[in-house]
Copies of this chain bind each other. A is one copy, B any other.
């Protein structure tokens, strides 16, 4: 018997979803990991009191749905600051690839824990990951209490790599899909069209259908990638994905910076989810994705940080703000990407993009109970004309006080409850020193 079947949060304000904001006192009741009820006022005034409920009185907190980071490479926290201010190809060839040669299972485990620590204390409760040694990432996620959609990265340079990759993905899906009480899902993760030849992508699509898994892939990140694809195949990377049948399956495509009008139509028609990574795209000099055009076409767009080596943090509040402001500046149109759209991208549309169940990414009854509690006493929340505006345009990681995922607090008073942060710092420093010795 569960002795605490219901947990109730009484807060000073609550964002249910982008369209539903309770600016004053509000309650939210959780049972079995899901939101049961939500509304204005105090819980005891609104529902019959039931014995055994735990009531968390948090009048100086504002509750929002946990943020969803729809694209990243968690363990690349290990390379934070290892190479900045250089062109993408130099960054990859001279900085990142040599470091990645030294990666070990141990390194990926600690690097992923560092990412979980950073993400959860800045308001992210669910993320995607595509990288090496993915069973170590899964272990880290299971321990951390976060949710994640995980993909062993697939590269198709040789027939052997292809076969090994597919076998590894098959094993990983068997061991981890639905694990950690459903917090972990598995996606197949072909890296990109320029690293995975068409016949291999075709086999990935087949395996995805066989196992009933979604797919995540990098698409049209740089201008050179698109130019090369057109030169070699007469097709954009997105058109190529149609040819190989990838879009017959549910796909989450990261970046989509350099897309044509036809590409956008394809993304909409095939219901391809797009992860927009504005800060990484800026920092690597990749460019600015046509977000307004993607949204106007009805494409489901979510937000991602990308890895910490190209960002260099995993703060989704920054991406949320950048998504809301960058395109206003690009188009010289202050009405572009209003606060509601940006917030939905970081929450409800993020959940849809990473294949979470319906309602997730909101705090409506039935949603997974993933809650971030912001500090109503922060200067950034004074005054309060428009709570959603304050969350989107003013709030920051500094305002994240507590985080609840499913059935437990994973952050309390700004400290993770599930992670030994001192140990993580120690191990990451050890690993970074070893990398530097080469």
Contact surface of A with B, Cβ cutoff 8 Å: 77-82, 84-88, 91, 114, 117-118, 121-122, 223, 278-279, 281-288, 308, 311-313, 315, 318, 321-322, 324-326, 328-336, 338-339, 377, 379-380, 382-386, 389-390, 393-398, 400, 421-422, 424-425, 428-429, 431-432, 436
A286 B85 Cβ-Cβ under 8 A: no
**When chains A and B are docked, how far (Å) is the Cα of A336 from the Cα of B86?**
9
Q: Given A84-B393, A339-B85, verify A424-B382 contact (CB < 8 Å).
A: yes
**When chains A and B are docked, how far (Å) is the Cα of A380 from the Cα of B436?**
19
Return 8 A-B CB contacts under 8 Å, by A number: A77-B379, A77-B382, A80-B385, A91-B334, A118-B380, A285-B336, A313-B380, A396-B397
What residues of chain B lie closer than 8 Å to A386, measured between beta carbons? 81-82, 84
What residues of chain B lie closer than 8 Å to A422, measured between beta carbons? 377
Main SS of the interface on chain A? helix
Q: Given A334-B88, A428-B382, verify A286-B81 contact (CB < 8 Å).
A: no
Q: Given A80-B390, A421-B377, verify A338-B85 contact (CB < 8 Å).
A: yes
B396 A286 Cβ-Cβ under 8 A: no
B335 A385 Cβ-Cβ under 8 A: no
**When chains A and B are docked, how far (Å) is the Cα of A321 from the Cα of B385?**
28
With both beta carbons as reference points, the residue of chain B lying nearest to A377 in the complex is identified as: B425
What residues of chain B lie closer than 8 Å to A318, measured between beta carbons? 318, 321, 396
B86 A335 Cβ-Cβ under 8 A: yes
A328 B282 Cβ-Cβ under 8 A: yes
**When chains A and B are docked, how far (Å) is the Cα of A421 from the Cα of B379?**
8
Max count, chain B CB within 10 A of own CB: residue among A279, A311, A398 = A398
